[in-house]
Structure 1
């Protein structure tokens, strides 16, 4: 059996898929999903958590490097 392992890529903000800070674009690129699904989930999480997700987004915007 041949098990090929992909080298893990770091989680970074996206420089090509960004509207505000590139955090959702970076998540979408990391998990290989549509960026619009991540954005919709982020907005939904913002309503459900009463703004807690917005604070998390801002923290990720400041912490994560851009590629």
Structure 2
């Protein structure tokens, strides 16, 4: 059983650590996740809203 949990990162954060935490969870580079959030926001998608929701909902890493 995999006990992998999603946390906001405290080590590699730019604003709230959401993108860095998502990147750690999926094992990708944080820059790729940050670019994806920006592209979704610029294309009229839910990028900014999703980021704000995750900032509130996802706990800070222990």
CA RMSD of aligned residues (A): 1.3
Deviation sequence 1:1-43 (CA, Å, 0-9, x none)? xxxx6x2311111111110010000010000100111111111
Aligned to 2:56: 62
Residue 25 (str. 1) matches residue 20 (str. 2): yes
| Offset, 1:64 | 0.7
2:9 alignment partner, one of 2, 5, 14: 14
Calculate the TM-score normalised by the size of structure 2.
Answer: 0.87
**TM-score, length of structure 1 as denominator length:** 0.82
Q: Which runs of 4 or more aligned residues in structure 1 lie more than 4 Å from their structure 2 counterparts after TM superposition?
A: none
Unaligned runs of 5+ in 1: none
Listed as ranges, the gaps of 5+ residues in structure 2 are: none
Question: Could you say which structure has the larger radius of gyration?
Answer: 1
- How many residues align? The count is 61
